[in-house]
Structure 1
Amino acid sequence: MSRRKRFRKYRRNLDARAQRFRRELNLKIRHNIAIMRAKSRPEVPAGLRDTFMIARVMGNDLHPRHSDGQMLKNLRFILENEPEFEGVTKLFVLNHIFNPDCHSAALELIEAHNAKVIDQPFIPEEYAALGWDLSAFGSADYFTSNEFLSMAEGNQLRAKIMACGPKLRYAMGVNGARNAAIQAGRTQAEWTAVLDGNCIFTKSSFERFRESCAQKPFMPYMVLPMHRLEENSDYFRQQPNLRSMEEPQIAFHFSANGEFDERFPYGMRDKTALLKSLGLPGNWQHWPTLAWIPDENLRMAERFQYRYSRGGVFRLSSGGSGLENKTAQQERYRSRNIAILTTISKLNELHGSAAPHLSALISNVQASSQQKGNPVSMCKRPSFDVAKAPDISQLNGRVLFIGLGAMKSGTSWVSDYLHSHPDVFHSPIKEMNFWNKLDPNQMQKFGSDFRLHRMKKILLKDRTSYPPSVRDWEKLLTLAELDNLNTTEEYLSYFARRIGSETHFGEICPQYSLMPARTYQRIAELGFDTRLMFFMRDPTERAASNIQHLLRRRSFDVDQFIEQLSPESREYQRSDYTMTLEAYRQSGVKIPLKTFFYEDLFNDNSIHEICEFMNLEFRQANFEKRVNEAKAYKVTQEQKQRIRERLDPIYLKLADYLSDKPAAWQW
């Protein structure tokens, strides 16, 4: 690194430190002003004066952040070793403990020591009914986008945690449990110390905390420094470090109005959102703003009205190997976030989940984040099991939809729209290429070649780490499974092992536009309520767009390609929509088929038509989004004119088939 670059780096670091110092100084000045303006202590009801409640939120063990049985171990340690304090009520909030044995054992321990308990039970049916929160991301496609994949691992994990919000707030709703403790404390004590489940007082530290609460001037919030223990046995040999940089705990006066913000799920600034709202100096004041994280309330009425306690608390060991020392903060955050997503994935597997394909995409994490060693052992098993024999009967009563094409006629955009619809299970691989392999046609062998191309692209693309992500492994597994689908029963099994509560299932595959009449009859023989959709585009514009699409993958002579357009060529037939319409007519099936024109597709009227045809609830589409757009090469107007001349027989035939000819086409 040159001297100039070193100087610039030094200057940037210096500027950042100066900015941080100014911000912290401003917070401290405003805190001192709040102390000078402090009001007198509010009148305390006689029954509450000088009383305290120590409330702890007991949550689930989350592997790999916690060791097995960590919650029960620390609960027992607290109950057996924390002294009894005069005028103090001890409350434990059991926060949706999903292990029944662990839940029962915790209740027995608490009752055996005559402590109070608020039991928030975990009910599997309530959990399974909860969906995902994709409002900040637009759709699930965000988690496969370049924007997401280019982010640092930590931000990827945080984004997935936010998407798991509804499930996370139920299974690990730490702020809801904390607020339940605050509300209980307001009627039973003057001060309520709301602690994490593994925090504990010593006798002397609690008495210092009691003295701090009685000091003047009065402040409604008391900040309790927290000191992390590497081993629980250290509790008997140390006193909490009041200069600890760890996130502190908070005690609330019964008159305090503030609560924890339940918009923030566990692991996503759940506690620090309140610390920032209070104006408490710390690292949380300098964390970057992310578009999908809610804004903290910086206009809190009691902002800066806090005091530091002279007595702090210990935090008992989590049991996670090497995660409790002072230098392991980043690894603790990472381990916790991985544990959150791993737990959500496991709960979805055990109790079911709305839209299970989203569970595979969002709540799974790379196993390489969890362990090191054998690459095979590092590949986390996908959330669906191809060895599992699914119950096909569960598809009964649902609507099967099949999009027939044509290529470059908006099928990818429609596929993307349906994929985001909550009532639709769209095949994770858009082009299944199943029906075109059953009967002789131009595209019969296309599917295997297409899947081999996709698998090579995944396996041979440049990587910065090994093994591939869970998302890539699932794509490989799905592509291999699709290549082995040879019967309609296997086709239905593919959907049955993946579908959740969705009312519609299906796929869109442009290669189906060249299926013969017999294939339509096979579809009808399934006996499902089936809807066929056929998307058409001006034949010349479609062919030109496909040329641009092909040039993204390989180079060729465009003029020669145009000269080879003939009724025998595949590219010509893809623009000959009469082949599709005639095959459907000759099949004699009663399955409804609806045609759509690309030129009229991108507006609410067409989306209403699609939803009405499929018997779906209308959902707004994103018309600004472009999917699979061809940009690498632009076909010239002269070339388009030559394409039009080569395809002239198609226009003549279509004029007889289409009663309402699209005005935008080159008739």
Structure 2
Amino acid sequence: MGSSQTKTGRFPDFLGIGTTRGGSSWLYKALSRHPDIWMPPVKELNYFNKLGDGTRTIAMTSPRVLMVRARDYLRGERRNSTQDSLGHTLAWDWHYFFGPRSIQWYTGIFRPREGQLTGEITPAYAIIPEEQIQRINSHNPDLRAVYILRNPVDRAWSSIVNHLARKQRRSIDQVPPEAIARKVAGIAEAARAQYPANIRRWRSVIGQERLFIGYMEEIKQDPAELLQRICSFLGAPPAPPETLEHILAPVNTTRKHGGAMPQEIRYELSKNLLPVMEETAALLDSPYPAQWLETARSVLAQEGTEA
């Protein structure tokens, strides 16, 4: 697979485009461990969804990103994704945080060694407008994209727990019910929940053959098999055994903050997201969206019978 080069850097070979709370952290971890793939030390570059050209990333970044980078240095984990020397890693961080954002800044982030593929993962790219996708495609007409989907009801609950509980360092049981109700009511309108629209928009620019659709169920059931299919799609050699050893543990979970989804919340989310699931099942030739739809209809039917 070819890669687009610029005078000052290299445009990525692939993008992970989503979805939030849908396996993007697992994908980043898995690809970072692959010896034939170079991933940036920071997972989400957020360039095409937050252009901010001319500003420095340090002015746009969250304290969490700075803390994670500091932790990586303190724990000796700074080389996990790049396997670069300390000098090269420090130079990368200087470029990333203090270089003025531009397409030259963006391409300067990617520093693979000869023979390596390179890419980045920003879940927010799934919802960027078509003109931004066209811009991406103009820089690399061979670029491939990976979109991992999750049952919309489960993804919505995980997102609610993440925003209202995990990020606040509390249990979801401590969150006021009205705050949860507001999130539940608005979840179906959120662009991140609109899988069919996002898929059609990306396909309209890069084509169906360059967009890989995977599922959270595959990460849970057989992550090694999914990773090998992604590697094949990207044009990378199969992941070696030492890479596969690192992809089995859950990544970035909300379990200790959320617990099981209350049945009344599952009912409301199923009702609100039913049209999305119907359209997704019709669009994609996969058993997983069909299972999501069947489960949602079962929940709605059960509640209707009890009522």
Matched, 1:534 2:159: no
Q: Is the 8 A contact 1:455 1:476 kept in 2?
A: no
* Cα distance change of structure 1 residues 516 and 483 upon mapping to structure 2, 3 Å threshold: farther
SS of the residue 1:601 aligns to: helix
Q: Which residue of 1 aligns with 2:261?
A: 636
Q: By how many angstroms is 1:527 displaced?
A: 2.9
Matched, 1:557 2:176: yes
| Aligned equivalent of 1:492, options 100, 107, 116 | 107
Q: Which residue of 2 aligns with 1:617?
A: 237
Counterpart CA distance in 1 for 2:77 and 2:123 is 24
Q: Which residue of 2 aligns with 1:572?
A: 190
User: Could you give the per-residue CA deviations for residues 42-94 of structure 1, whole angstroms, max 9, x where no partner exists?
Assistant: xxxxxxxxxxxxxxxxxxxxxxxxxxxxxxxxxxxxxxxxxxxxxxxxxxxxx
| Aligned equivalent of 1:433, options 46, 67, 82 | 46
| Aligned equivalent of 2:227, options 593, 607, 620 | 607
Instruction: Report 1:43-192 matches (<5 A).
Output: none
Q: Is the 8 A contact 1:426 1:505 kept in 2?
A: yes
Unmatched tracts of structure 2, length 5 or more:
79-85, 297-307
Counterpart CA distance in 2 for 1:582 and 1:448 is 34
SS of the residue 1:507 aligns to: strand
CA RMSD of superposed structures (Å): 3.7
Q: By how many angstroms is 1:422 displaced?
A: 0.5
TM-score, reference length from structure 1: 0.35
Instruction: Report 1:433-472 matches (<5 A).
Output: 433-438=46-51, 451-455=61-65, 457=67
| Aligned equivalent of 2:123, options 497, 510, 513 | 510
SS of the residue 2:38 aligns to: strand
Counterpart CA distance in 2 for 1:634 and 1:450 is 33
Matched, 1:593 2:211: yes
Counterpart CA distance in 1 for 2:30 and 2:135 is 27
Q: Is the 8 A contact 2:30 2:227 kept in 1?
A: no
* Cα distance change of structure 1 residues 581 and 590 upon mapping to structure 2, 3 Å threshold: closer
TM-score, reference length from structure 2: 0.71
| Aligned equivalent of 1:626, options 221, 240, 250 | 250
* Cα distance change of structure 1 residues 405 and 476 upon mapping to structure 2, 3 Å threshold: farther
Counterpart CA distance in 1 for 2:23 and 2:233 is 17
Q: By how many angstroms is 1:394 displaced?
A: 8.9
* Cα distance change of structure 1 residues 489 and 650 upon mapping to structure 2, 3 Å threshold: same
Counterpart CA distance in 1 for 2:48 and 2:162 is 24
Q: By how many angstroms is 1:490 displaced?
A: 2.0
Could you say which structure has the higher helix fraction? 2
SS of the residue 2:190 aligns to: helix
User: Could you give the per-residue CA deviations for residues 563-617 of structure 1, whole angstroms, max 9, x where no partner exists?
Assistant: 44456x6983322212311321443668711110111234233222111101111
SS of the residue 1:654 aligns to: helix
Q: Is the 8 A contact 2:137 2:205 kept in 1?
A: no
Q: Percent identity, aligned pairs only? A: 21
Instruction: Report 1:289-368 matches (<5 A).
Output: none
Counterpart CA distance in 1 for 2:206 and 2:27 is 27
* Cα distance change of structure 1 residues 635 and 548 upon mapping to structure 2, 3 Å threshold: farther
Counterpart CA distance in 1 for 2:272 and 2:38 is 40
* Cα distance change of structure 1 residues 558 and 417 upon mapping to structure 2, 3 Å threshold: farther
Task: Name which one, 1 or 2, has greater alpha-carbon Rg.
Answer: 1
* Cα distance change of structure 1 residues 538 and 449 upon mapping to structure 2, 3 Å threshold: farther
Counterpart CA distance in 1 for 2:270 and 2:50 is 31
